């Protein structure tokens, strides 16, 4: 995994945006998976700007949803789907058929995981997977201790995730389980980009880079991916 330290958050967002736009120029029907969370907000602005200025054409791309709080859908403000639609997909003018997202309100989450696995397999895998890093080192909702051999699955949320997840909601809400693409999807993606910004991420980034590679810190597993880049702003890099 390559590590790139960028001056600040704005530049980091611009550079990751450029990576995606560059891929889409080479492969207009690219399969793209982007995270929700606060880290990619600048990236979403960048992609929307490229779209508005007609510098990028996402009309043939396919977007895969990374994860969701189990039991929520786009009508729940603060859900991943709500955030992805309002902050990115609607701004890019995507058609519904370009987006494959977990139905986390399903009564059969196991089948729903298989449905998403099948879609990704039929599409020939994910071309670019962009991920934020949780304060506990999670990727998507692959929590510490996750089985790296899994594709999509339901997860029991870690205490840290239950607490930090509250930031997406206007009132306190019980978060217990999630549904997420698995580490296996991440490791099989053709390119992986990890992003981290801000001083609050410096400790987990240091651990991810200097500690052992293993499932107790899911983000560390990406160090073994053949085409992965970790983009850090100076604060996240501890500079």
51 counts as catalytic = no
Is residue 134 near ligand PGA by the rule CB under 6 A? yes
Check residue 224 and report its DSSP letter.
G
Asked whether 189 and 125 are in contact (CB, 8 A), the reply is: yes
Of the candidate spans 21-29, 95-103, 131-139, 169-177, the one that interacts with ligand PGA by CB under 6 A turns out to be 131-139
From the list 46, 68, 76, 136, the catalytic residue is 136
Shortest spacing between CB 33 and ligand PGA, in angstroms: 13
- C-beta nearest to ligand PGA: residue: 37
Tokens found for residue 66: 């990374």
Dihedral angle over CA of 152, 154, 157, 161, nearest 10: 40
Of the candidate spans 31-39, 56-64, 115-123, 185-193, the one that interacts with ligand PGA by CB under 6 A turns out to be 31-39
Is residue 25 near ligand PGA by the rule CB under 6 A? no
Is residue 79 near ligand PGA by the rule CB under 6 A? no
Tokens found for residue 154: 């339901």
Is residue 39 near ligand PGA by the rule CB under 6 A? yes
Query: What gap in Å lies between CA 79 and CA 61, rounded to an integer?
Result: 23
Which CB atom, from 121 or from 203, has the smaller least distance to ligand PGA?
A: 203
Query: What gap in Å lies between CA 185 and CA 191, rounded to an integer?
Result: 11
From the list 67, 117, 158, 233, the catalytic residue is 67
Asked whether 65 and 30 are in contact (CB, 8 A), the reply is: no
**Which residues between 160 and 219 bind ligand PGA (CB under 6 A)?**
none
Is residue 37 near ligand PGA by the rule CB under 6 A? yes
Q: Which of 65, 78, 109, 132 binds ligand PGA (CB under 6 A)?
A: 132
- The residue written with tokens 């991420």 in the block is 201
Shortest spacing between CB 116 and ligand PGA, in angstroms: 18
Long-range contacts of 235-239 (CB under 8 A, 24+ apart): 235/197, 235/198, 235/199, 235/201, 235/202, 236/196, 236/197, 236/198, 236/199, 236/201, 236/202, 236/205, 237/5, 237/202, 237/205, 238/202, 238/205, 238/206, 239/5
Total residues binding ligand PGA (CB under 6 A)? 7
Of the candidate spans 3-11, 48-56, 132-140, 180-188, the one that interacts with ligand PGA by CB under 6 A turns out to be 132-140
Positions in the binding site for ligand PGA (CB under 6 A): 37-39, 132-134, 138
List the catalytic residues: 67, 136, 138, 143
């Amino acid at each position: 995994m390559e590590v790139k330290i960028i001056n600040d958050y704005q530049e980091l967002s611009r550079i990751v945006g450029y990576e995606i736009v560059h891929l889409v120029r080479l492969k207009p029907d690219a399969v793209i998976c982007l995270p929700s969370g606060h880290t990619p907000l600048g990236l979403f602005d960048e992609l929307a700007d490229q779209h508005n200025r007609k510098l990028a054409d996402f009309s043939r791309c396919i977007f895969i949803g990374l994860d969701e709080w189990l039991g929520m859908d786009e009508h729940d403000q603060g859900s991943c789907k709500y955030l992805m639609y309002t902050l990115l997909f609607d701004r890019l003018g995507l058609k519904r058929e370009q987006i494959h997202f977990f139905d986390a309100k399903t009564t059969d989450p196991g089948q729903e995981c298989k449905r998403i696995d099948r879609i990704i397999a039929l599409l020939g895998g994910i071309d670019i997977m962009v991920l934020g890093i949780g304060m506990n080192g999670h990727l998507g909702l692959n929590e510490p201790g996750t089985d790296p051999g899994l594709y999509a699955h339901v997860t029991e949320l870690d205490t840290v995730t239950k607490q930090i997840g509250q930031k997406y909601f206007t009132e306190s809400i019980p978060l217990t389980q999630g549904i997420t693409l698995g580490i296996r999807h991440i490791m099989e993606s053709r390119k992986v980009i990890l992003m981290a910004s801000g001083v609050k991420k410096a400790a987990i980034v240091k651990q991810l880079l200097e500690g052992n590679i293993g499932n107790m810190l899911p983000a560390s597993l990406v160090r073994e991916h053949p085409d992965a880049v970790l983009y850090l702003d100076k604060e996240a890099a501890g500079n």
